[in-house]
Amino acid sequence: MNVRSIVIITFLIIFGSLFSDVINYDKVIRNLKGVKSYEKENYENSGEDFKRNAIKYPKDSRLQFNQANAQVKNGMLEEAEQNYKLSLNNEKFKDKSKALQNLGNVKFLQKDYKNAIKNYRDALVEDPQNLDARYNYELAAKMLQRQQEQKQKQEQNKDDENIDEEKEKQEEEQQQDKQENKNDEQEEKQQKQEEQKQDEKQKLQEQKMKEQKKEDAEKMLKALLQKEKEEMKKEKEKMNVDRAKSGKYW
């Protein structure tokens, strides 16, 4: 039997004892009408009848209790909680144990197991023979333990996810640093290669200039030698002409 069906059965046990022994005639008729609608599972109509009675006779805690039961069936848990508490404020209300148990059932449906346990415990204090409250108390305790274990597991999973994210982030940063270092090395290598090319180009240019200068110097020397040779030839020819005129020869 699952949790939901157990709670519903517990509600049926409690709701089967709706208060119908109301003295005032108008109150009695409307209350019986509400009880009849409730038994036919027409919770909306029963809720309206109980509500009108509770508003008209606010000091009758039994009417507030009946209204709260119908509100639970209509899914109005917060409103039901308020009416259960109103019924408990009346010191003359005889079924406080049932009201506390149903209040615990409301908190159970809201998955507020901690407060559900508190209400079930208070219900047992009022009536130790309330077996439904005792059973629901044990059930709520188990559900609270399961809820806490799930919460711890979720927190652990969240911590693990944070660790994994941090680890992944560190790995990404390391990879990025590694890539940046690789890029720096490549840039440095390219820069050295470029500098080496520039040096080789400069050396080649210097070599060409040196060879050009040597070539120019050789041409200049050759030209000077040629000029000197031509001058010597001219000088020799002049001397020959002068001897021929004077008739003197060596």
Are residues 10 and 122 both part of a single domain? yes
Please report the DSSP string for 54-85 in residue order: HHH-TT-HHHHHHHHHHHHHTT-HHHHHHHHH
Are residues 9 and 104 both part of a single domain? yes
In angstroms, the CA 69 to CA 78 distance is 12
Are residues 209 and 120 both part of a single domain? no
Give me the percent of the chain exceeding a pLDDT of 70. Answer: 87
Are residues 109 and 213 both part of a single domain? no
Give me the percent of the chain exceeding a pLDDT of 90. Answer: 39
In angstroms, the CA 188 to CA 208 distance is 30
Residue 232 lies in a domain: yes
Are residues 142 and 206 both part of a single domain? no
Closest to 38 measured CA to CA, from 2, 59, 69: 69
Tokens 């019986």 belong to residue: 32
Are residues 20 and 118 both part of a single domain? yes
Are residues 10 and 128 both part of a single domain? yes
Among 3-12, 47-56, 140-149, 218-227, top mean pLDDT goes to 140-149
Segments forming the whole domain that contains residue 230: 199-250
Could you give the number of structural domains in the chain?
Answer: 2
235 phi/psi in degrees, rounded to 5 = -65, -40
Please state, as a whole number, how many other Cβ atoms lie within 10 Å of the Cβ of residue 146.
12
Residue 189 lies in a domain: no
The pLDDT of residue 18 = 55
Are residues 205 and 126 both part of a single domain? no
CA distances (Å), origin 21, targets 32, 60, 63: 9, 12, 11
Are residues 117 and 21 both part of a single domain? yes
Residue 166 lies in a domain: no
Choose the final residue of a domain: 118, 148, 178. 148
The pLDDT of residue 127 = 95
Residue 176 lies in a domain: no
pLDDT tens string 109-118: 999 999 999 9
Q: How far is CA 147 from the centre of its chain?
A: 21
Residue 193 lies in a domain: no
**pLDDT of 192 strictly over 90:** no
> Model's pTM, two decimal places?
0.57
**pLDDT of 22 strictly over 60:** no
Residue 22 lies in a domain: yes
Instruction: Identify the CATH number of the domain in which residue 137 sits.
Output: 1.25.40.10
Choose the final residue of a domain: 126, 148, 170. 148
The pLDDT of residue 237 = 78
Residue 77 lies in a domain: yes
Residue 171 lies in a domain: no
DSSP label at 16?
T
pLDDT tens string 194-238: 888 888 888 888 888 888 888 887 888 888 888 888 888 888 777
Are residues 25 and 135 both part of a single domain? yes
Average pLDDT for 135-161: 91
Are residues 203 and 140 both part of a single domain? no
